[in-house]
C-alpha cells in the first residue's frame, strides 16, 4: 500500500498549498511556448508534455537579475542591494531531468561563495517531480546515468498510475515530507499500479566519452573541427540547458545612476572570451564547441564530481542545424581507440 | 534517376574535377524527419547528400562564414529560390563574388515534389518576375493580415508578449545569411549600445534593431522563424518590412545581383511620402 494523489484532487491540492503560503508553478503553454508559470487551478497546467521548452532553471537563475541599484551624487554614493524576495514556491510537475539540473548546479552556486540569489530561491522552493510516462527521440537521461523516474533534485516524486487517474506519492526529502503534510487529507492509501516507464535507449557510452576527453591528446583533435563545422554559433543550446550557468555582469544606466545586472552569457558567443586587448583565445566555433563539451563532461566533473548534463536533450531538440550534445558524444563513443 | 542521385553525382564530379573545394548540402539528421547541413570535401562524402522535401534550410548562410571564400576557390551549395535570392543580395552588398559560387538549385513544389533548377551560376537564374510574384505561404500572410488589422495598442501588446519570451540566444541572427556583420551592434560593449538584458526594453531593442536592419534585405526564407527556440513569429516582422519597402520603392530584395541595396542608394524619383 502506498499513498496516491488523484488527478481530480489537484485543485484542492493547489488550494491547500496556496493557503499554506506557497505560489504554485507548473508547466503552462503561453504564446506558443511551453514553460513553467504560476497557476491558479489544475486546468492551467499542461502536464502531458514530454518536456517544457524552457527549463525551471529560469526561476532560480533568471535570464536577467538586478543585483544593485546605484546613485552617484556630488559628495555621496548610494547603493542598494537587490536580493530576490523570500517567496515560498511549489514547482509541480517538474521532469526528472530538470530537477536533476538544479541538483547539478547546487555545488557550483555554493562553491567558493554562496550565491544568495540562487539559494534564497532554492531554499524556499519545493520540487515535485513527476516521473515520465513518455519520451521522445531526443531524451537521453539514461545515457548520463539518470532515469525517467530519477528523484535527484526532487523533494517529492510522483509516479503516474497506469490508469491515468493520478500519481503514487513519495517524499524524498524533509522539505517534501513537510509539503505532503499540508495535503495529507487529500492523499489516500492504494495499491494501484504505476504506469510502465518509457524506454529511453542509451545513446552513448558516457564512460568512454569521459575517458577520451580526459586524454590531453584529444584537446587538439581534428574531431572538434569536423563535428562543429555546421554550428552557427547561436546560444540556444546553452540557454535552454537546465545546467548551463554562465553569466555576465552589466551596468545599465549612466555615470550617475543605474542598475547592475547579472545576465545569462554563453560559451557559444565569441564575445564570451574576448580579451580587452582584442585577442580571443577561443576564436573559432570549434574551440567554443569543444569548451562546451569539455566543461560538461570533463572540467565540471573534475571539480564537482558530477557531469553537467541531465540528459533532457533540449540542445538537440531545438538546435536550428540539428546539432547538440548527443551527436557529439555518440561520435566520441565510436571513435577508434 | 531522381534529383538526389543526380545532385550527388554532380557534387562528386565538381569535387573530383577540383572545380570546387567544398559542396554544402544536406545529410540525414538525428531523426527520420530532420535534415542537417552536410559539408562534402571528397566525392565519397558527396554520396551522403540527401535532397528531398525536408531540405528547407537556407544554406547560403554558410557562404559568409568567416574565411570560407577568402582563398578565392569555389564552393558548391544546394539552394532553393530563397537561397538564390539571398546570394543575389549578398552579391549586391559586395559580400560574395558571383564566380565563387556554384549553385545546385532546386525547388520544392507543393511541399512534396523536389525539382531541379537549371543553371549553375547565379547569372543563370533570371528570376525577376517570378520572384516578384513569389509570396510567403498563405498562413504567413493570414497571420500578418491579422496583426495589421489590430489597433496599435493591441499590436504593441501582441509583440510585447512575444518579445518577452526572447532569450537573446541570437539564433535568428546566426542562421540569417544577411546577418554577416563581423561584429554585431549587440556585441559591441565599449560602449554598450544595446542592452544585453532580456527585459522588455532589451528585448525590444534587439528585435527592432534587427527588423530595421533587414528592411529591404530579407530574402523571406523563414530561417529566423524556424530557428527561434521560443517560437517568436519573426518572419511576420520581416514580411511586413518587405511589404513596406515594396510599396515605397517598388523593390523586392534578391531579384538579381545587379540591384543596388534599396536603403543604401538614391534615385531622383524616389517617393518622399514618408518624410514629414
Interchain contact, A318 vs B229, CB within 8 Å: yes
Can you tell me the ipTM of this complex?
A: 0.92
pLDDT of residue A111: 93
Secondary-structure percent of chain A, ordered helix, strand, coil, rounded to 5: 35, 25, 45
Domain total in chain A: 2
Which of A142, A166, A190 terminates a domain? The answer is A190
CA distance B12 to chain A (A): 19
Whether A116 and A15 map to the same domain: the answer is: yes
Whether A248 and A291 map to the same domain: the answer is: yes
Sheet-wide strand order for A247-253: A77-81, A64-72, A257-264, A247-253
CA distance B90 to chain A (A): 18
pLDDT of residue A53: 97
pLDDT of residue B5: 97
**Angle in degrees, CA B202, A29, A103, rounded to 5:** 75
pLDDT band at B268 (very low <50, low <70, confident <90, very high): confident
In angstroms, what CA-CA distances link B210 with B9, B173, B238?
39, 8, 9
Closest C-alpha among B208, B217, B203 to residue B246: B217
- Using a CB-CB cut-off of 8 Å, the residues of chain B touching A233 are 174
Separation of alpha carbons B144 and B150, rounded Å: 10
Residue of B nearest to A315 (CA): B229
Reply yes or no on whether the pLDDT at B131 is more than 70: no
Contact A147, A201 (CB under 8 A): no
Chain A touched by B226 (CB under 8 Å): yes
Q: Where are the beta strands (DSSP E) in chain A?
A: 2-6, 23-30, 33-38, 64-72, 77-81, 89-94, 125-130, 156-160, 166-171, 188-190, 247-253, 257-264
Q: What are phi and psi of A78, to 5 degrees?
A: -110, 135
CA distance B275 to chain A (A): 32
pLDDT band at A137 (very low <50, low <70, confident <90, very high): very high
Residue of A nearest to B172 (CA): A234
* Structure confidence by residue, pLDDT tens digits, A164-184: 999 999 999 999 999 999 999
Reply yes or no on whether the pLDDT at B194 is more than 80: yes
Q: Which residue segment(s) compose the domain that A284 sits in?
A: 206-334
Whether B150 and B86 map to the same domain: the answer is: no
* Structure confidence by residue, pLDDT tens digits, A248-299: 999 998 889 999 999 999 999 999 999 999 899 999 999 999 999 999 999 9
Q: What 3-state class would DSSP assign to B231?
A: coil
Q: What 3-state class would DSSP assign to B39?
A: strand
| Residues in a beta bridge with A156 | A128, A171
Instruction: For chain A, give the mean pLDDT.
Output: 96
Which of A160, A190, A220 terminates a domain? The answer is A190
The answer, yes or no, to whether the previous bond of A62 is cis (omega within 30 of 0) is no
Chain A touched by B41 (CB under 8 Å): no
Whether A18 and A100 map to the same domain: the answer is: yes
Chain A touched by B62 (CB under 8 Å): yes
Residue of B nearest to A321 (CA): B36
Burial class for A114, CB neighbours closer than 10 Å (0-12, 13-18, 19+):
exposed
Global pTM value = 0.94
Contact B46, B7 (CB under 8 A): no
pLDDT band at B276 (very low <50, low <70, confident <90, very high): low
Separation of alpha carbons A317 and B207, rounded Å: 24
Contact A162, A193 (CB under 8 A): yes
Whether A213 and A165 map to the same domain: the answer is: no
Is residue A257, in this structure, part of any structural domain at all? yes
Amino acid at each position: 500500500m502506498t499513498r496516491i494523489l488523484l488527478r481530480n484532487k489537484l485543485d484542492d491540492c493547489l488550494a491547500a498549498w496556496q493557503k499554506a503560503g506557497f505560489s504554485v508553478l507548473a508547466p503552462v503553454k503561453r504564446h506558443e511556448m511551453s514553460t513553467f508559470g504560476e497557476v491558479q487551478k489544475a486546468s492551467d497546467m499542461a502536464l502531458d508534455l514530454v518536456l517544457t521548452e524552457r527549463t525551471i532553471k529560469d526561476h532560480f537563475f533568471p535570464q536577467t537579475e538586478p543585483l544593485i541599484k546605484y546613485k552617484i551624487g556630488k559628495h555621496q554614493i548610494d547603493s542598494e542591494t537587490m536580493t530576490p524576495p523570500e517567496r515560498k514556491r511549489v514547482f509541480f510537475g517538474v521532469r526528472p531531468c530538470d530537477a536533476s539540473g538544479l541538483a547539478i548546479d547546487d555545488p557550483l552556486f555554493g562553491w567558493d561563495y554562496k550565491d544568495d540569489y540562487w539559494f534564497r530561491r532554492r531554499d524556499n522552493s519545493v520540487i515535485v517531480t513527476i516521473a515520465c510516462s513518455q519520451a521522445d527521440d531526443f531524451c537521453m537521461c539514461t545515457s548520463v546515468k539518470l532515469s525517467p523516474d530519477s528523484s535527484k533534485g526532487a523533494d517529492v516524486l510522483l509516479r503516474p498510475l497506469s490508469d491515468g487517474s493520478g500519481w503514487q506519492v513519495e517524499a524524498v526529502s524533509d522539505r517534501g515530507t513537510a509539503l505532503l503534510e499540508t495535503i495529507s487529507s487529500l492523499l489516500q492509501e492504494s495499491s494501484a499500479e504505476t504506469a510502465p516507464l518509457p524506454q529511453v535507449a542509451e545513446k552513448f557510452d558516457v564512460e568512454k566519452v569521459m575517458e577520451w576527453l580526459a586524454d590531453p591528446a584529444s584537446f587538439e583533435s581534428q574531431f572538434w573541427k569536423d563535428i562543429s563545422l555546421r554550428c552557427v554559433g547561436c546560444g540556444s543550446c546553452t540557454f535552454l540547458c537546465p545546467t548551463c550557468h554562465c553569466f555576465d555582469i552589466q551596468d545599465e544606466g549612466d555615470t550617475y545612476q543605474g542598475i547592475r545586472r547579472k545576465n545569462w552569457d554563453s560559451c557559444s558567443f565569441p564575445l564570451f572570451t574576448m580579451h580587452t586587448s582584442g585577442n580571443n583565445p577561443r576564436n573559432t566555433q570549434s574551440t567554443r564547441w569543444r569548451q562546451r563539451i569539455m566543461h560538461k563532461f570533463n572540467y565540471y566533473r573534475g571539480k564537482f564530481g558530477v557531469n553537467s548534463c541531465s540528459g533532457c536533450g533540449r540542445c538537440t531538440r531545438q538546435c536550428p542545424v540539428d546539432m547538440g550534445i548527443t551527436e557529439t558524444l555518440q561520435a566520441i563513443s565510436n571513435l577508434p581507440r | 534517376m531522381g534529383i538526389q542521385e543526380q545532385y550527388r553525382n554532380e557534387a562528386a564530379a565538381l569535387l573530383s574535377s577540383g572545380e570546387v573545394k567544398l559542396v554544402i548540402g544536406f545529410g540525414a539528421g538525428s531523426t527520420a524527419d530532420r535534415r542537417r547541413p552536410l559539408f562534402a570535401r571528397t566525392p565519397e562524402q558527396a554520396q551522403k547528400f540527401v535532397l528531398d522535401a525536408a531540405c528547407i534550410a537556407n544554406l547560403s548562410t554558410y557562404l559568409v562564414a568567416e574565411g570560407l571564400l577568402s582563398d578565392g576557390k569555389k564552393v558548391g551549395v544546394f539552394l532553393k529560390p530563397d537561397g538564390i535570392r539571398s546570394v543575389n543580395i549578398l552579391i549586391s552588398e559586395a559580400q560574395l563574388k558571383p564566380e565563387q559560387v556554384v549553385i545546385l538549385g532546386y525547388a520544392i513544389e507543393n511541399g512534396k515534389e523536389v525539382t531541379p533548377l537549371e543553371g549553375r551560376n547565379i547569372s543563370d537564374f533570371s528570376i525577376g518576375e517570378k520572384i516578384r510574384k513569389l509570396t510567403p505561404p498563405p498562413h504567413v500572410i493570414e497571420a500578418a493580415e491579422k496583426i495589421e488589422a489590430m489597433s496599435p495598442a493591441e499590436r504593441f501588446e501582441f509583440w510585447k508578449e512575444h518579445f518577452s519570451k526572447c532569450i537573446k540566444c541570437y539564433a535568428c541572427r546566426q542562421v540569417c545569411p544577411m546577418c554577416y556583420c563581423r561584429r554585431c551592434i549587440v556585441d559591441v560593449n565599449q560602449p554598450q549600445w544595446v542592452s544585453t538584458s532580456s527585459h522588455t526594453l532589451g528585448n525590444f531593442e534587439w528585435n527592432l534593431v534587427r527588423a530595421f536592419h533587414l528592411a529591404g534585405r530579407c530574402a523571406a526564407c523563414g530561417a529566423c522563424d524556424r530557428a527561434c527556440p521560443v517560437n517568436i513569429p519573426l518572419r511576420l516582422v520581416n514580411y511586413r518590412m518587405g511589404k513596406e519597402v515594396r510599396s515605397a520603392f517598388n523593390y523586392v530584395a534578391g531579384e538579381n545581383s545587379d540591384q543596388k541595396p534599396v536603403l543604401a542608394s538614391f534615385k531622383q524619383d524616389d517617393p518622399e511620402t514618408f518624410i514629414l
